[in-house]
Structures are given as structure tokens and as C-alpha cells.
Amino acid sequence: MMKALVFHGAGKPKFDDRPRPFVQSPTDAIVRVTKTTICGTDLHILKGHVPTVASGRILGHEGVGVVEQVGGNVANFCVGDRVLISCISSCGACAKCKIGMYSHCQKEGGWILGNRIDGTQAEFVRIPFADNSLYPIPTGANDETFVMLSDILPTAFECGVINGGVKPGDVVAIVGGGPIGIAVLMTAQFYSPAEIIVIDIDDNRLEIARKLGATQTINNSDGNAIVAVMKMTQGVGVDVAIEAVGISSTFDVCQGIVSAGGRIANIGVHGTPVQLNLDQLWSHNITLTTGLVDTSSTSMLLKTVASQKLQPSQLITHHFQFHQILQAYKTFGNAMQEKAMKVIISNDP
């Protein structure tokens, strides 16, 4: 048996005993999880907003660990290897995987961990398609840093920076200064935009944003972000507006500040419909992008971490032991009061 954080329906997470996972297919690996974290998506699941997650599911889609067992067809990893677990599992061979759209893997891959199959908030996890879904962690590296590469950094970079087409000299606005918004801020700087404006309602998060490279910040508690951004940009608006929350009011800010020819990149997980203001935008030459992360940038991001161009540990604010995971959920769920960004949950022997 092993310990795991199990979803028992809306509002009911439990720290339970569960059977240890085993190799079910020759492409599987079993990983002993040494560090994991909690994602905003896990909070959505606990509110009952993600219908694909059945009661009894072990949550979590981020983490690092040590390979405990491999199926007969796993070629790239051996027992004892330290690995980064991607939030996206992918077969690498189907039509969608062949074009790098791993999030839509047609062989029962995509975002399945902690969703359609048991996830990483456990002592052990089964990783399907291990050769394509795990990455080696360089020896000597601080492994908690790499937990940030399971989901938030590739998500921020691919769905925000790449989809938003951030270029040198651009004026970029990031709507939402949580972990994803801050990860956008960090990776947008690969491209040297002229301005990065971060908008949030939490002064602590805005202060972190300024430390990590935001050129301007706006506290939108008064709902005046659109007016403020238009004033900052002499009435022109921004080249790229990145939505990093997933509610209609933040999407509305993006619609209100995008300049003619600009781009809106949505990252947020939306639980309810939003209004698309085509009456104002139809003639505006804008581009709107959506998408789930493919984690196709993970290998590149690993190199930027190795060279310290990217320092993901700047996102980590709290540490817990695995048996304290319910407390970690409370802290992460009260992020504003607790001044929490990302929490690390350790399960070292």
C-alpha cells in the first residue's frame, strides 16, 4: 500500500491508503515521487468543475522522482534514473503527436495524470508512454526546481509567450499575476519585449512581478485596468494581451487593451462562457489563441534552467512534507492571505 491524496467528490480531498501502481503496459514506468506540487487546476477539480475526474482519483500532474520499475518496451529510462514527470503523457506516434500536439494525443494520452488516471500526489505513480512523458534530471541539479517544468513553465511559455507571438520591442500585458502569470513574465523576457505590464488585484503578487522583470504593474481592485493600460500606451493598447486567470472579467480586460493587429493569448482554464466582443474587434485585425500545453518546449526549458537563464525556484514560496499535503492545499487555496505562489511537497525517504 501507499499514501495518496484522493478526490472523493467536490470539496472532499482525503489523505488515503491506496494500492501501489504496477506496470500495466510495456511502455509504462513506475516512478517513486520525491517532490510534487499543487496546480490551480487541482483547485478547480476540488470545486467539482472538471467532470472527467472521477471520485476515487489520485490528484496531481506535476512532480519529479526516481524510476522504480519499467515495462519491457521502455528504452530511454532505467530503474534508479531521476526524472521530471511531464503533465502531458504522449505516445509520440499518433497523428497529433507527429505534429507536436501532444496535448491531443489520440492514444489515450494528453492531460490524463490526476484526471483520467491516477496522478502524482502519491508515493508512487504509473506513467504511461514513459519514453515520451519523462525527462532526465541532470545530475547534481536541485530537483525541486524541475517540478516547475512539469506544467507551469511550459504552459506559460507555449500558451502565453509562443501563442502570443511575443517579439523584441513588443508591449505585453499579463492579466493575472499568479504562478502562471509570473511564469509568463519570466519566459517572455527570452524575447526582450519593450514593456511587460502585469495586472492583478494582489499587491504582494505585483511586488513579486516587479522584482522579476515587470516594467509596470496595475492593481485592478478598482476595475480600472483598461483605462490605466490605455493611458500608459497613449491610447494605442498592447501588442500582446495574455489571459492567465480563466474568468470573464480578465478576458474582458484583454479584449479592452489589445491594440489593432494585436494578439490575445488565452491560458486560463475557463469554467463558464465568456463574451467575445466582436462588435468592437471585428475590424481590429486581432488574433485570439487558445490551447492546452503540449510540453513540446520542455527540453528547451531544461537547457535554460541548466544555464540559469531561467530560475524557476523564484516561483517557490512554501515547503511541506507529504503527510502535510492537506495543509499545503489550504495554504495554496488561500494564496492571497498566505502570500503563496508555488508550494513544494516533499516525500524524501
Residues that bind Zn ion (CB under 5 A): 39, 41, 90-91, 94, 97, 105, 107, 109, 151
Q: What is the rounded (10 degree) CA torsion for 220, 153, 88, 200? A: -10
Name which of 161 and 238 has its Cβ closer to Zn ion.
161
Name which of 220 and 250 has its Cβ closer to Zn ion.
250
Name which of 154 and 193 has its Cβ closer to Zn ion.
154
Characterize 171-208 residue by residue with b for buried, 16 or more Cβ atoms within 10 angstroms of its Cβ, and e for exposed. bbbbbbbbbbbbbbbbbbbbbebebbbbbbbbebbbeb
How many Å separate Cα 315 from the centre of its chain? 12
279, 285, 248: which is closest to 266 by C-alpha? 248
Residue 176 · residue 244 · CB < 8 Å:
yes
Name which of 257 and 345 has its Cβ closer to Zn ion.
345
- Could you tell me the smallest distance in angstroms from the CB atom of residue 93 to Zn ion? 6
Name which of 151 and 252 has its Cβ closer to Zn ion.
151
64, 62, 58: which is closest to 118 by C-alpha? 58
Determine whether 231 is exposed, middle or buried from the number of CB atoms within 10 Å of its CB (0-12, 13-18, 19+). exposed
- Could you tell me the smallest distance in angstroms from the CB atom of residue 109 to Zn ion? 5
259 vs 166, 254, 297, CA distance in Å? Answer: 14, 10, 28
- Could you tell me the smallest distance in angstroms from the CB atom of residue 111 to Zn ion? 8
Residue 264 · residue 255 · CB < 8 Å:
yes
Name which of 97 and 173 has its Cβ closer to Zn ion.
97
Identity (one letter) of the amino acid at 283?
S
- Could you tell me the smallest distance in angstroms from the CB atom of residue 65 to Zn ion? 17
> Which single residue is written with the C-alpha cell 524510476?
67
- Give the number of residues written for the chain: 349
- Could you tell me the smallest distance in angstroms from the CB atom of residue 11 to Zn ion? 19
- Could you tell me the smallest distance in angstroms from the CB atom of residue 177 to Zn ion? 17
Name which of 137 and 148 has its Cβ closer to Zn ion.
148
- Could you tell me the smallest distance in angstroms from the CB atom of residue 41 to Zn ion? 4
